[in-house]
Amino acid sequence: MSDISDALHMAGQLVLHRDADLIEIVALSLHVSLSAVAIACLVGLPLGALLAITRFPGRGAVLTLVNALMGLPPVVVGLIVYLHLSRAGPLGFLGLLYTPTAMIIAQTILITPIVAALSRQVLEDLHAEYADQFRSFALSRRQTMQALIWDARYSLLTVALAGFGRAVAEVGAVMIVGGNIDHLTRVMTTAIALETSRGDLALAMALGMVLMALALGVNAAVHGVRLTAARQAHA
Amino acid sequence: MTDPDSITQQSGMALRVRDLAFRTGALTLLDGIDLSLQPTGITVVMGPNGAGKSLLLRLVHGLAAPTKGEISWGGALLSPMLTRRQSLVFQKPVLLRRSVAANVDFILRARGRRDRRARDAALARVGLSAEAARPARRLSGGQQQRLALARALVTGPDVLLMDEPTASLDPASVLMIERIVTDTAAQGTKILFVTHDIGQARRLADDVVFLQSGRLAEYSPAARFFDTPRSEAAQAYLAGRLRV
């Protein structure tokens, strides 16, 4: 019990004194995960919108596949990205293995299906409401997708948040393709795993606290935005 | 409207419907509809629930495809190009989750126009200038329907289709919308107006299409329709006699 309280005390000191290592790790974590979320949204939202408004043979199978990909195991994604980026792999010449870019790629692959599948559901529901009006407006498919994404923007924030939560909390993929290299590819989750195994519970706990605070903060911010939107009747 | 390309002015007939039918599964919802409407004025479409009034509007707007028959506007078969020159106002307005002004801007931009003056004029025309910055979904029911009307009119359609636009509105809102409709018709826009309200039909109609059980029971000039309806179905409807 005292170990935990000691660790908590030391963790609090690290956070309060803005420990340089801690800040570096948190900043890299945010950089990697936010970049992955941004790319996943750029790909996943239009894909979700397209799936929401189009009907084609095999659509059910595609939806099942996209939904299934939401549960991709991070270590498997890490392994696949590793095989592609390793020196002998097809993309080895890019020299990306053990870099933050490799970690962003792995996390993007992990969360794009989440963004696509969840946004598809949100946008399909909205499209059911708008479909006749949009057909009356004679909108193109692109105009329809853009309008749906814009009008569902507050709901889609929650989708992006789900992606961010998955990205920032996962450890398997970034450990494999990033290598957990100090001052280069060490992020919060890999650092927590490492420091725990080394017995440095204070740093692990401090990182855990920051991770929790981030998750709570982002959730609160999104909730606040949605409430404001609802008050303005835009949601 | 003085647009020389106006589909209502290219020929003597705004709308010609030939042997129109719509079936879904074993149900026949419209059958044997033949119509030739005048190029201007207000045509009111009447009939009891399930008569096929809204479906007829959807068909002539291209929102549904007929099982049989053909629809032409100004002598040309219905096409996406022609439906872009129509506007449809639904019974329940579908407003975007944006401001009042942004709702009107949306359709202008969709047609490749960024025209603040057109938007402001459309809002002024329906009495919503003061509400331009408000979220559209915060408007009252009557204001929402007027916004839908502004959005429908801002593109300068040749034909305005209205599907019971005043069905759930208070008398003041109904009056405002009727005034806008008559003004719009006076400027040359052809209007097809679906309503259950006999009083409203009397106030607005130049001619009346009366549907009964998916068939055309009568198409007459308004005065004749209300004074001496020929069909038994229209007589019963106007007299308030209930029929099954």
Confidence (pTM): 0.87
Share of chain A above pLDDT 90, in %: 74
Share of chain B above pLDDT 90, in %: 84
Among A130, A147, A232, select the one facing B135 at the smallest CB separation.
Answer: A232
pLDDT at A209: 86
How confident is the model at residue B3, as a pLDDT? 43
As a whole number of angstroms, the distance between CA B129 and CA B124 comes to 5
* DSSP type of residue B39: S
Number of domains into which chain A is organized: 1
**Best interface-test mutation with A: which of B60, B82, B97 has the largest number of A CBs within 10 A?**
B97
Provide the pLDDT for residue A227.
85
Facing residue for A133 by CB, picked from B83, B94, B135: B94
Q: Strand, coil or helix: what is B34?
A: strand
Residue B242 has phi, psi (to 5 degrees) of -80, 130
Average pLDDT rounded to a whole number, residues A4-12:
79
ipTM: 0.87
Q: Among B11, B4, B153, which residue's Cα sits nearest to residue B77?
A: B11
Residue A202 pLDDT level (bands cut at 50, 70, 90): confident
Percent of chain B at pLDDT > 70 equals 93
- B138, A233: Cβ pair inside 8 Å? yes
List the single residue in A135, A143, A151 with the smallest CB-CB distance to B110: A143
Q: What is the pLDDT of residues A175-190, one digit of tens each?
A: 999 999 999 999 999 9
- Give tens-digit pLDDT for B155-210: 999 999 999 999 988 999 999 999 999 999 999 999 999 999 999 999 999 999 99
Residue B138 to chain A, least CA–CA distance (Å): 6
Strands (E), chain B: 15-24, 27-37, 42-46, 68-73, 76-77, 86-89, 159-163, 190-194, 207-212, 215-221
Contact A234 B94 (CB under 8 A): no
Cα–Cα distance measured from residue B128 to residue B122, given in angstroms and rounded to the nearest whole number: 9
The domain in which residue A141 lies consists of: 2-234
Residue A100 sits in a domain whose CATH number is 1.10.3720.10
Q: Which residues of B touch A234 (CB under 8 A)?
A: 97-98, 135, 137
A132 and B83 within 8 Å at the Cβ level: the answer is no
Question: What pLDDT sits at residue B2?
Answer: 36
pLDDT digits (tens, 9 = 90+) for A189-201: 999 999 999 988 8
Amino acid code (one letter) for B201: A
**pLDDT at site A35:** 98
pLDDT digits over B52-68, tens only?
999 999 999 999 999 99
> Strands across the sheet with B42-46, in order?
B86-89, B159-163, B190-194, B42-46, B207-212, B215-221
Q: Residue B81: is its pLDDT beyond 80? A: yes
What's the pLDDT tens digit per position in B100-135? 999 999 999 999 998 999 999 999 999 999 999 999
Q: Within an 8 Å CB–CB cutoff, is residue A146 touching chain B?
A: no
Round to whole Å and give the CA distance between A166 and A211.
Answer: 12
Dump pLDDT digits (tens) for A72-117.
999 999 999 999 999 999 999 999 999 999 999 999 999 999 999 9
**In 3D, which of B80, B77, B61 has the Cα closest to residue B69?**
B77
CA distance B195 to chain A (A): 20
